[in-house]
Structure 1
Amino acid sequence: MKHYSKQIFLFLLVLVFGTQSFAQTPSSFSIKGKIAGLKDTTVFLAHYFGYNQQVIKDTAKVDSYGQFQFKGTKELPEGLYLIALPKGKYLDVVIGNTNFSFETDTTNLIGKMKVTGSKENELFFGFQQEMSSKFEKLKQLDAMRRQKKDAVSEAAFKKQQADIETFQKTWLEQNKGSFVVKLIKAAQEPEVPAYGKPIVTKADSAAMYQFQFSYYKSHFWDNFDLGDERLMRTPFYQKKLERYFEDLTVQHADSISLEADKILAKVKGRDIRRYTIYKITSSYENPKILGVDGAFVHMAEKYYIGEPALWDTSTVRKMKERITILKPLLNGKPFPDMYLTDTLGREIDIRRIPADYTVVFIYDPECSHCRESAPKLAKMYPALKQKNIRVLAASIDRSAPKWKKFIKEFKFEPMINGVDIHKNPQTGKEEYYTDFKNLFDVYATPVIYVLDKDKKIIAKRLPLEQIEDFIDFHKKQNIKK
């Protein structure tokens, strides 16, 4: 379903960034730049959309003196922008007041920056210049202490570290209320306090790590203002969302849904809310981790269907269609009826297959990936059968000759082989009852389901090579229960 996710993404791009209304002169923008060492070229002004994408808002020609101007009559959404220069170089600027100018030099874009008419950018570059100077001194002191290895050099190095820390805290406090402070804080990690108990045993170590993890997670969003839509147009928000859900959230549908609800309870702005909903939802439609597609269903039901005013009718309709397919196929659900007959024309009742586990292999006889997987499955089957695991191989192609040829070619005879061909006893004509695409989410083949002894789904789209290990793990988990 990659085309589906891309469609929503493109829709959001248009919706979020294409609906700015034309403004009068007071809302127009004019950014004049002069960069020594740059001439007779083109530069671009773009804002961040996550850390790996930018949305271009304007282009400008650079004259022989390094001068250029971005200008327009359409208001720029506020946030962190970049000016893209030749040879992969770029310069970050803050867009709030959109009428300002600056001068710098290609030899040191930040160090030689001078800004006129933008307090935010004066703060932004002033902070970077001061920090760069302090870190350069720290670097020199570090080289000195490594060479001399004496107490005096070590003390000077630590004093400079403390000076940097004091400067940062003082500067942030003095300039609180500015967007630049929000930017800097947004990039900061939570500072975990020292663990207050002695570490003697392994249990003590485990308790310390648990404390550190819990503190870090619970304070992860402390420095990030989820109510400020400008932070959506920075590289930081996407990174924080991904880290929070990939590294700090238990990869279980209920846990993911709970954390998403907590975050979205704080995200009120229309654009950043849409962006947040999209980023979380799209991560779990075709997840890499088994069994978390329930989070996609939760997000789609609660935030797309449940908040239709945020989306167009086409998006809501497609979400409804997707949920209709996915919801009956979530882990723990009974495997839907699959109407098949075997090679002798007898009906196959999946629920009557005597096995502790059943692997359903849905394939197309002419699919190249299916033909690659088939010999591997045939080779695995004897070991699976010894563990009371049966395989039902179901062809989506209703051509009996192709189906039977595939069974013979890949030695599938020991398995249970089914096809959706049913003869009407009255007319003698073939009838078909199984909608593989909409009932079993078969948009590409092969598709593998693993069912427990009660024929409930415990895995979907499991790689062939992981079947045996997964079932062994599942068995152990059930024994523990």
Structure 2
Amino acid sequence: MHPGKTNCFSEICLTVVLKLTTAMFHKFLALLFFITAIMACGNSKTAVPTGIQSAEPATKDALINITVEGLMNGTAKLVGVYADQNFLADSAKVGPDGSFTFQRDSAYLSGLYFVIVPGDKNFQMIIDANQHFSMKTKQGDFVKYMEVAGSIDNTLLYESLKYQSEVDKKFEDIQKRLNQAAKNSPEYAQAKSEQDKLLKERAEHVESYRKNYPTAFFTKFKLAGQNPAIDEPKKPDGTLDTLMQSYLYRSKFWNDVDFSDVRLLRTPVIHNKLKRYITEITAQIPDSIIKSASIVTDKSLVNKEMFKFVANWIALQYQATKTKVMGGEAVYAYMIDKYFTRELAYWSDSTEIKGLRKQAAEIGASVLGKTGQDVRAKDPTGQYRSLYDLKAPYVLVYIYNPDCEHCQKETPLVKQVYEKWKPKGFFDVYGIATETDDAKWKSYIAKEKLTFTNVFDPTYESKYYLKYHIDITPEMYLLNKDRKIIAMNIDAAQLDQLLTEEFSKQ
């Protein structure tokens, strides 16, 4: 049961897994984000959102007749799509002649669906306003033998799939010739010319849908899924300006996506384009991610459901416990601060929003580039020790719990790094014990023979938890000579590497 085995009619459409697992479901429950796809399993009086055009008149009910010649008896399933999730929309018994019908008194929600037939094979279907139509095909090659009656969207879909199948064969042949020919040879030039011609023909084919079927949902989806043309801007010396090329590509990435059309959420396109835009073609540094996140989220504000999906998806990617990007929490804090307001985050109540914004504010105080704040707390002798009293150019704020398994593994490694760099006068450690008691803390220091500065603040007098956000212990923040946070969420090995790099700059 795997749609990736069939051709996908949109360039951005990637493999869709048809089994909705508990883990996948909970991913979208985070931040109080309830999957709209689950609601799609219920009845709906209106398949197409208000204000959205369709190529055909709407039907109040659904009557979709399908025949697959040579199909074994069993149950056919109608599986809907929401972003990268899937849900079971309906099922039907397959007759002896391979026929079955998806029928109900109310319309299905518009979107991309997969028909799963006995034998775990599948083919695609678009459901929009008109839900009275039929499809007929044969085992062996669903696309090749597909015949559609009564549905403009599905007629266009399978015309496109058949065209793409033929074009792909031509591209494969040309690519083989390009790989075999010398780059400056006549054979290479000929193959390259044919490739450029074919690319132009394919682009014109896609544009023909815009011209001839402007109101078809298929057209909307097909255009949204296309990747922008790649420009080749030159520097003054005639070489390719790759930075400008990347900028131009990103700037055109959303040109053909209609964010006001919520139907696109019930396809893979929005999710896959969003993932690519944010995590692949945007540099994975907080400032760049925030800029791209702001651009696409602002575009999504034209539709409440679209905005809800985009804002939550981006925020979820950069939660402190999920992100692998150094300082990625800054993106999360930015998204919460700008978009999770009482006016915009309509899906959450005021208490939930207040909690999220409080958390974001705490995170925002200790992200990359921020000045690490001073902490003043008592050491094992009862003397107050200040973080700012440490004079080494680089200081690690090491927050740990003696009972934490990860801390027990990491602390000896941090100690090794400390003992390596401390004699050089280049590095020091300010340890903060958390969620423990005085006896356990002192016992742990003695057991591990920790000689770096260690403090414990059981009454939270220093408010260290507001100055350095703690998600999972151990938590590490590396401060430079100006006490700016230059690294976080690192381990001892990465710490040693960073110190080596910084030391080499002296």
Give the TM bin, normalised by the shorter chain: 0.7 to 0.9
* Kept in 2: contact 1:138–1:157 (CA 8 A): no
List aligned pairs for 1:44-443, cutoff 5 A. 44-50=77-83, 52-96=84-128, 97-136=130-169, 162=197, 165-166=200-201, 169-170=204-205, 172-173=207-208, 174-177=211-214, 178-195=216-233, 204-205=238-239, 207-267=240-300, 268-286=302-320, 287-305=323-341, 307-308=343-344, 310-313=346-349, 315-336=352-373, 338-385=375-422, 386-413=424-451, 415-420=452-457, 433=461, 440-443=468-471
SS at match of 2:102: strand
SS at match of 1:348: strand
Alignment TM-score, normalising by the size of structure 1: 0.83
Query: Which of 3, 28, 35 is the equivalent residue of 1:13?
Result: 35
Provide the aligned length of Structure 1 versus Structure 2: 461
Q: Distance in 2 between matches of 1:400 and 1:273?
A: 48
Amino acid in the other structure paired with 1:69: T
Tell me the residue number matched to 2:73.
40
SS at match of 2:33: helix
Q: Distance in 2 between matches of 1:457 and 1:303?
A: 26
Amino acid in the other structure paired with 1:230: R
SS at match of 1:123: helix
1:3 CA displacement: 12
* Kept in 2: contact 1:351–1:454 (CA 8 A): no
1:439 CA displacement: 5.8
Higher share of residues assigned helix: 1
User: 1:90/1:322 Cα in 2 relative to 1: closer, same or farther (>3 Å)?
Assistant: farther
Asked if residue 458 in structure 1 is aligned to residue 486 in structure 2, the reply is yes
1:218 CA displacement: 2.1
1:145 CA displacement: 11
User: 1:348/1:157 Cα in 2 relative to 1: closer, same or farther (>3 Å)?
Assistant: closer
Q: Distance in 2 between matches of 1:69 and 1:125?
A: 20
- Structure 2: give runs of 5+ residues left out of the alignment: 1-23, 47-57
* Kept in 2: contact 1:47–1:54 (CA 8 A): yes
Amino acid in the other structure paired with 1:279: W
Alignment TM-score, normalising by the size of structure 2: 0.79
1:343 CA displacement: 1.8
Q: Distance in 1 between matches of 2:283 and 2:187?
A: 48
1:125 CA displacement: 0.4
Q: Distance in 1 between matches of 2:296 and 2:63?
A: 36
1:456 CA displacement: 4.0
User: 1:356/1:94 Cα in 2 relative to 1: closer, same or farther (>3 Å)?
Assistant: same
CA RMSD of aligned residues (A): 3.7
Q: Distance in 2 between matches of 1:194 and 1:432?
A: 57
Query: Which of 9, 12, 23 is the equivalent residue of 2:45?
Result: 23
SS at match of 1:225: coil
1:135 CA displacement: 4.2
Q: Distance in 2 between matches of 1:156 and 1:457?
A: 53
- Structure 1: give runs of 5+ residues left out of the alignment: 422-430
- Deviations 1:245-292, CA, capped at 9 Å, x for gaps: 223334343433332232233321121111111112212222211223
Q: Distance in 1 between matches of 2:367 and 2:396?
A: 16
* Kept in 2: contact 1:138–1:161 (CA 8 A): no
- Deviations 1:169-188, CA, capped at 9 Å, x for gaps: 14632534132233223332
1:112 CA displacement: 0.7
User: 1:338/1:14 Cα in 2 relative to 1: closer, same or farther (>3 Å)?
Assistant: farther
Quote the sequence identity (%).
25
- Deviations 1:190-234, CA, capped at 9 Å, x for gaps: 222445679xxxx643x5323422322222223333333222222
User: 1:195/1:290 Cα in 2 relative to 1: closer, same or farther (>3 Å)?
Assistant: closer
- Which stretch of structure 1 is more off in the superposition, 20-29 or 32-41? 20-29
- Deviations 1:379-433, CA, capped at 9 Å, x for gaps: 11122212421112222144333222322332212x1122225xxxxxxxxx563
Amino acid in the other structure paired with 2:253: F
- The higher radius of gyration belongs to 1
